[in-house]
Each structure stands twice: as C-alpha cells, then as structure tokens.
C-alpha cells in the first residue's frame, strides 16, 4: 500500500488514526441493515444452517464411537450457557461497566473434543469431507445409512489414503487435527510463530504432523494451502474462505434458542440480546453472528472484539477493503498475547457477509485479557484462555463510549437495557494444561 493511498484512507475513515495509535475504540458499522435486508444479500440461508445441523445429527453415532466422552450427550457437541452474576458485579465495580441486564457466559471454551469454538466449524468441515468421500466410494449408501460404518477397517483404509491440511494459530489446528486423526486421515497442521507450544505438543500426541513457521498466521495459511493444492489426495481447510467452517459455527445459534428458554431469558423487541465474540480471521465469530441474525433478527446485536495490534476485521470492514488490507499496512505488528486473535489480514468472505449484520467492533490492549481472565476466575471459578477474555471488553465499553451510547440511542435501546441479556462468547480454554494456566494467572502486563 502506497503512502498516498494510506493518507487518503486516513482522511476518509476516521477510526484509522485511532487504530494506528493502538487506541481502544468502539467502531460502529455504518453498513448495518435490518436483518431481513441482510438476509436478502447473504450468499447463504437458514436452509444451509439446517442442512449443517442435520449432518451433525447423522454423524452423532460415529462421534460417540470415536469419542466415548460424547456418549452422555448422544454425540452432540455443545456447551453450556451460564449466568455469571458475580462477574457482572466485578465488571461494574472495577471497570465502570453499566451492566443492568443479565450477563451470560457461553462456554465454547469447554466444548468436547477440541476445547474451543473451533470444535464447531472445524469438526463440521472434517465430517462434511468425510461424508463426501464415503458416499463417493460406497462406504455409505446414502444419508439414511448407519454412520458407524465410517469407523470400520474398510473405511479407515480409505481415509488413510487422504491428507487433511490447515493453517492455524492453534485452536483450529487442534480441532482439525484431533478430528481428522480420529477419522483416519493423515493430518498436517501449519502453525504460525505465535502458536502455543502445548498446542503443538497436543497435536503431535494424536499423530498429527505439525509444521512450524517463524512468520505469522497468514504465512502458515499460504504455505499450507500451496502444499495441499500440490497434492491431489490432500484437502485444505481454508479458514479464510470456507463456507463449511462458517456453517458449522452458525449451528450454534439454533442450539442457543433452547438454552435461553431454559434460563427464562426472552429475546424480543423489549428484551434485546447483545453478543460479544473475540475475532481473529473472522470465521468463527462471523459464522456465529450469521446464525444469530438468522434466528433472532433485529433483536440481537453482535460485536467482535480484537487486540489493538491485530484489529484486522475492523480494519477490513471500516475501509471496505476487507482482505485487501492488513494491519501491517497501517504500521501495526499483528503480534499480540491473544494468540488466537493474532491475525493481520481478515477473511474477505466473512467481512463481506458481515457488512449488513455486524453491529460493530471493539479493540483492547493485551494487558486486559489477563486481568479479565483473573476476574472470571476469582468471581466465578471458571478458567478460559486469555484470548477468549477479549469478549469482556464489549460490555465494559458499550456504555462508556460516546459511540456506544449513540448506538443504543439510535436503535431505541437505551430504556431497554435493564431487560437486556449479554452473552460473552468464551472461545477456548479447557484443554490448557494446568501449569500453563498458572503462568497465565500470574502474567501481568503494563
């Protein structure tokens, strides 16, 4: 990007200067539209989400066979939705948040098999690829067949001829690696420099080949894609462009309906729902948001949260350039303690889908993720990894910033906040080893 192009962008995008200076901001999405209008523009529909949900149901018996810990849930991989009133009080008293409604934690941090939100999209995409191969080669005769056949010696012999590859900062690699190995695929995970060592070790313990890079996430994806494309027997899980990943994440919204009803938390014009999701390249938060908007329409307000050194989705959407711009183009490094969010260039596919749906995005400095992590541990006794705690910045800043208050006023929400529900989407953490958790708990940044 030329200096002149950057100067022009700074003049036309008022938030760009703040991003360059690593300031914590709230950006309102000016392209947000009524949900019905957004649906008319989207390349995917509710029918696509229903199809994804049905596929996961077909695979449930096979998943129990491969992962016995799923037996109590009959092969359904789902996380709890938990009220966190003590955390709400802490956010109000320590940070001046103006939370008067219900605060909930969506514990995708504790999803079975992969221990993160990536268990949704990642596992779904592997299963979709597995189904396609099994139908093509006659292992399955159709969707009504018994999917436990996929664990047979004949099926595993077939799958062992194929390779699955992915580029990752960590959690997607865990999801793809563990699941693909369980199916019987050969697996290669290309991991960026900021990926945690324990995640690499975990993958290798499952027989996964881990290729390490000294560069960032973008390079790991680029190399992984190139190597996979060169092998006709290899399938690349493309975190930047995959509709299958996206739909796997979107199924979460349908599951949320019953959980909210069980907690007697209504979502309607008088009871708005606010959802805050940590964002890296954009696939998981984008998919979840797409599903939520399909289900709850204009009654749900979705926000992404990104580190000040890696606000790639905010940058791409605010400039309208999407994956045509990277944080390094405005002088940022893309380096952050929030390793799962250490992405310099966003998904163009996701950014374009999000244009009519996303309410806005927040940024936060790295030191906050550790403080928020300790806040949750001290008040609720729940551990999630630091990256996941980026979500807490949303409700803290919404009522404190001029832009946040304007958003509430413009949408007629100011007098409805006492009846609102706020969901912090916890994206990972349950697989973190205890010794690493202790390091996190004792990490203090300036």
pLDDT for 205-247, tens place per residue? Answer: 999 999 999 888 888 889 999 999 999 999 999 988 999 999 9
- Is the pLDDT at 4 greater than 80? The verdict is no
Q: pLDDT class for 446, splitting at 50, 70, 90?
A: confident
Residue 192 has pLDDT above 90, yes or no: no
What is the arithmetic mean of pLDDT over 187-204? 91
- Mean pLDDT to the nearest integer, 338-359: 96
Structure confidence by residue, pLDDT tens digits, 77-99: 999 999 999 999 999 999 999 89
Domains and CATH numbers, the chain: 3-45+70-113+249-441 (3.40.50.1100), 117-243 (3.40.50.1100)
Write a three-state SS string for the chain.
CCHHHHHHHHHHCCHHHHHHCCCCCEEECCCCCCHHHHHHHCCCCHHHHHHHHHHHHHHHHHHHHHCHHHHHHCCCCCCCEEECHHHHHHHHHHHCCCCCCEEEEEEHHHCCCCCECHHHHHHHHHHHHHHHHHHHCCCCCCCCCCHHHHHCHHHHHHHCCCEEEEEECCHHHHHHHHHHHHHCCEEEEEECCCCCHHHHHHHHHCCCEEEECCCCHHHHHHHHHHHHHCCCCEEEECCCCCHHHHHHHHHHHHHHHHHHHHCCCCCECCECEEEEEECCCCHHHHHHHHHHHHHHHHHEEEEEEEECCCCHHHHHHHHCCHHHCCHHHHCCCCCCCCHHHCCCCCCHHHHHHHCCCCCEEEEECHHHHHHHHHHHHHHHCCCCCHHHHHHHHHHHHHCCCHHHHHHHHHCCCHHHHHHCEEEEEECECCCCCHHHHHHHHCCCCC
Give the chain's mean pLDDT.
95
pTM for the model stands at: 0.96
Instruction: Give the least confident one: 6-10, 178-182, 325-329.
Output: 6-10
Mean pLDDT, to the nearest integer, of 138-165? 97
Q: Is the pLDDT of residue 445 over 80?
A: yes
Q: Which pLDDT score is estimated for 388?
A: 98
pLDDT at 432 over 80: yes
Q: How confident is the model at residue 307 (pLDDT cuts 50, 70, 90)?
A: very high
């Amino acid at each position: 990007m030329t200096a002149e192009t950057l100067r022009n962008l700074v003049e036309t995008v008022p938030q760009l200067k703040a991003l360059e200076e690593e300031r914590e901001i709230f950006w309102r999405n000016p392209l947000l539209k009524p949900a019905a209008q957004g649906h008319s523009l989207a390349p995917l529909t509710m029918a696509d989400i229903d199809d994804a949900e049905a596929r996961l149901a077909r695979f449930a018996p096979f998943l129990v066979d491969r992962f016995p810990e799923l037996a109590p849930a009959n092969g359904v991989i789902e996380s709890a939705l938990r009220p966190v009133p003590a955390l709400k009080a802490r956010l109000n008293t320590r940070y001046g948040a103006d939370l008067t409604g219900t605060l909930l934690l969506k514990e995708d941090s504790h999803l079975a098999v992969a221990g993160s939100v990536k268990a949704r999209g990642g596992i779904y995409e592997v299963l979709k690829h597995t189904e396609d191969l099994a139908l093509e080669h006659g292992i399955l005769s159709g969707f009504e067949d018994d999917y436990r056949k996929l664990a047979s010696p004949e099926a595993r012999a077939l799958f062992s001829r194929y390779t699955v590859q992915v580029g990752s900062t960590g959690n997607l690699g865990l999801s793809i690696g563990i699941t693909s190995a369980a199916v019987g695929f050969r697996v290669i995970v290309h991991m960026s420099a900021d990926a945690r060592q324990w995640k690499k070790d975990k993958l290798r313990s499952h027989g996964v080949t881990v290729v390490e890079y000294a560069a960032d996430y973008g390079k790991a994806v680029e190399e992984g894609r190139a190597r996979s494309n060169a092998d006709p027997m290899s399938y690349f899980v493309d975190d930047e462009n995959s509709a299958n990943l996206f739909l796997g994440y979107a199924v979460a919204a349908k599951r949320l309906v019953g959980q909210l009803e069980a907690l007697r938390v209504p979502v309607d014009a008088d009871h708005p729902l606010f959802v805050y999701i940590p964002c890296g390249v954009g696939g998981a938060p984008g998919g979840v948001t797409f599903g939520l908007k399909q289900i709850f329409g204009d009654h749900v307000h979705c926000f992404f949260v990104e580190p000040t050194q890696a606000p790639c989705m905010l940058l791409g959407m605010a400039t309208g350039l999407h994956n045509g711009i990277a944080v390094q183009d405005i002088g940022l490094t893309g380096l952050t303690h929030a390793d799962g969010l250490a992405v310099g260039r966003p998904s163009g596919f996701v950014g374009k889908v999000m244009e009519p749906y996303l309410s806005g995005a927040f940024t936060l400095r790295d030191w906050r993720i550790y403080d928020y992590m300790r806040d949750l541990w001290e008040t609720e006794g729940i551990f999630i990894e630091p990256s996941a705690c980026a979500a807490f910045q949303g409700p803290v800043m919404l009522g404190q910033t001029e832009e946040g208050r304007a958003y509430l006023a413009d949408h007629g929400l100011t007098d409805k906040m006492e009846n609102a529900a706020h969901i912090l989407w916890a994206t990972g953490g349950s697989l973190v080893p205890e010794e690493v958790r202790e390091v996190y708990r004792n990490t203090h940044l300036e």
